[in-house]
Amino acid sequence: MAKFTYKYESITRIKETLQKKVQKEVSSIDLEIEKLYEEIDNIIEEINKSIIDPTKKRISARDLQFAKNYIKELNDNINRIEGEIEKLKIKRQEKIQELIKKSKEAKIFNTLKDIHHENFNIEEKRKEMIDLDEIATQKFTRAKK
């Protein structure tokens, strides 16, 4: 019996490689988003630490103004990071759409491979039947002589 060789095997491998590449890109974007959320948590923690203790009897105007500006700057940082997160989420959605497309392409080639393999098996069985018929015919003719 002959060995099955799929003529589009190299294309299939390339498609699978591209699919894995996109999967890695999606996971790296997820990792970036996670890091940005951790950064936001750290900034919120910093804001909570920097809030002036209201139990102090005297707070200078300079300290109050400094704390106010510092908290405003931290809030601006949070807003900037949230903007980056939104951009990354949009990029992630695009990559997921690309991944879906790559997955469909890989599935099409895998289905095509299955069809080719099935046709190969049918052809091999047909050839085997022809060979068996030939052997049977030869035996029959020899037995008649």
Rounded average pLDDT over 76-102: 96
What are the distances in angstroms from CA 10 to CA 15, 102, 106, 125, 131?
9, 15, 12, 27, 33
| Residue 128 predicted with pLDDT over 70 | yes
| Residue 10 predicted with pLDDT over 70 | yes
How is 29-98 classified by DSSP, letter by letter? Answer: HHHHHHHHHHHHHHHHHHHHHHSPPTT-S---HHHHHHHHHHHHHHHHHHHHHHHHHHHHHHHHHHHHHH
pLDDT in tens, 17-71: 999 999 999 999 999 999 999 999 999 998 888 776 666 667 778 887 888 898 8
Residue 19 near residue 99 (C-beta atoms within 8 A) = yes
Lowest mean pLDDT among 3-12, 102-111, 126-135: 3-12
Which pLDDT score is estimated for 8?
A: 84
Which pLDDT score is estimated for 75?
A: 93
Q: pTM higher than 0.75, yes or no?
A: no
| Residue 78 predicted with pLDDT over 80 | yes
Long-range CB pairs of 70-77 (<8 Å, 24+ gap) are 71/47, 74/43, 74/46, 74/47, 74/50, 75/47, 77/43
